[in-house]
Amino acid sequence: MARTLINLPALSKKGDVIEVRTLNAHPMETGYRPGADGKVLPRDLIRRFTCTYDDGASREVVFQAELFSAMAANPYLTFALLVTGPGTLTLVWEGDNGFAQTETLPLRVA
Amino acid sequence: MLRHLRRALACLGALGLVACAVDRPPDTRRSGFDFMGATTLAMQRDDTQNPGMLWVQEGADLWERPQGRSAQSCADWHGAGATSMRGVASRYPAFDA
Amino acid sequence: MRPTGALSRRRLLAAGLGASVALVQARPAHASDWPVELAAAVAAFARGAPVREGRVTLEMAQLVDNGNTVPVTLSVASPMKPGDHVVALALFNERNPQRDVFSARLGPRNGRARASSRIRLFTSQKLVAIARLNDGSCWTRTVDVIVTIAACIEGET
């Protein structure tokens, strides 16, 4: 399973705008690069990242990104989130060759 | 007696240092850190951004993972890596030349 | 006639400082500089809406030391309220094999229109950040960057 690093404040308050930082270990093979044998290595990218926020009152997609070859390897994605209540964040990475990874983490609100 | 010994050692040490300073040519090596671009430097310094931290986390996971026939992990023998293995990275890997 | 002595040294130093400052600051470019493919990619994102320069900030090094991993941050000063917010952000490039870099959907639940990532740049080129607001209008910022080590498309070293 690919390694991920997700960073967000350990504790926040309702109304805060927090920054969620995500890192996912993935080669992000562009599909343009020749390998050692001269043949172009097939594309192998994470194509989409989605963050869903369940604050107890609703469950909504709060951030979604489409990624392309021009993204660096081990994609780093950071976005802002308005804290509306304690709940759960579900982060999903999907990509080529059936790549799919989900991480869930709690959002702790004082 | 001890004070004399200490003073003698200090003198020898100082002489040694001076001798080294005189004999050795200045070290002109520079770390890549010195001429890294500002944004690359910021990326490296921030543990929440540095992609190397993904492998650090993998190392932390491996430390806890049971391996082999005995199904024991590094942690079973050495406890919390952060304390028992402090400073190890600067001394290992070590090779018998 | 060349000035001599302290005066010329001072002038040379000032010129050098000026040049290095100019190099470090982001060099803005304009929509009129976009080549055809880039303009088409931006127009497709804009969905026919008029595209204006402004409101979007694209933070990135103007001199990129490693094109394999270039930190970028896109942001828009927007209240991000239900009636006035950014619905999408995107980044396009001029000279990589493909124009798209990434695009993101946003909304009031973000609280702030800001996204950061790291991208690959094949060569020195223009980058265009574009934001679509809830009223359909689109705003762009174009930046010109110099890349010293290109993201590899020429095989494993």
Across residues B12-24, what is the average pLDDT? Answer: 62
Residue A36 falls inside a structural domain: no
Chain A nearest-CA distance from B48, in A, is 6
Question: In C72-104, which positions are buried (b, 16+ CB within 10 angstroms) versus exposed (e)?
Answer: bebbbebebeeeebbbbbbbbbbbbebbbbbbb
Q: Are residues A55 and A81 in contact, defined by beta-carbon separation less than 8 angstroms?
A: no
Q: Worst-scoring range by mean pLDDT, A37-51, A65-79, B15-29?
A: B15-29
Judged against a pLDDT cut of 80, whether residue A82 lies above it is answered with yes
Measured between beta carbons, the chain B residues lying within 8 angstroms of C60 are 39
Instruction: Give strand ranges (E) for chain A.
Output: 4-7, 17-24, 46-54, 59-67, 76-82, 87-95, 99-107
pLDDT at C25: 42
Measured between beta carbons, the chain A residues lying within 8 angstroms of B53 are 5, 23
ipTM: 0.93
CATH at residue A47 = 2.60.40.10
Across residues A16-38, what is the average pLDDT? Answer: 94
Q: Which residues of chain C have pLDDT under 50?
A: 2-4, 18-25, 157
Residue A92 falls inside a structural domain: yes
Q: Where are the domains of chain C?
A: 26-147
Tell me the three state secondary structure of residue B92.
coil
Q: Are residues C156 and A27 in contact, defined by beta-carbon separation less than 8 angstroms?
A: no
Residue A25 falls inside a structural domain: yes
CA distances A11 to A5, A87, A107, A110, B49, Å, are 17, 12, 8, 6, 20
Residue A35 falls inside a structural domain: no
All residues at 6 or more sequence positions from A13 whose CB lies less than 8 Å from its CB, including other chains: A83, A109, A110
pLDDT at C26: 54
pLDDT at A71: 97
Tell the CATH topology of C26-147.
Immunoglobulin-like (2.60.40)
- pTM summary value: 0.81
CB contact under 8 A, A3 and B54: yes
From A17, A34, A78, residue closest to C116, measured CB to CB: A78
Q: Worst-scoring range by mean pLDDT, A8-12, B78-82, C3-7?
A: C3-7
Q: Are residues A35 and A41 in contact, defined by beta-carbon separation less than 8 angstroms?
A: yes
Kindly state the tokens that stand for C71.
């930190």
Structural domain total, chain A: 1
Q: Are residues C54 and C77 in contact, defined by beta-carbon separation less than 8 angstroms?
A: no
H or E element at residue C46: helix C36-46
pLDDT at B36: 85
* A100 contact B CB<8A: no
Chain A nearest-CA distance from B33, in A, is 21
pLDDT at B97: 73
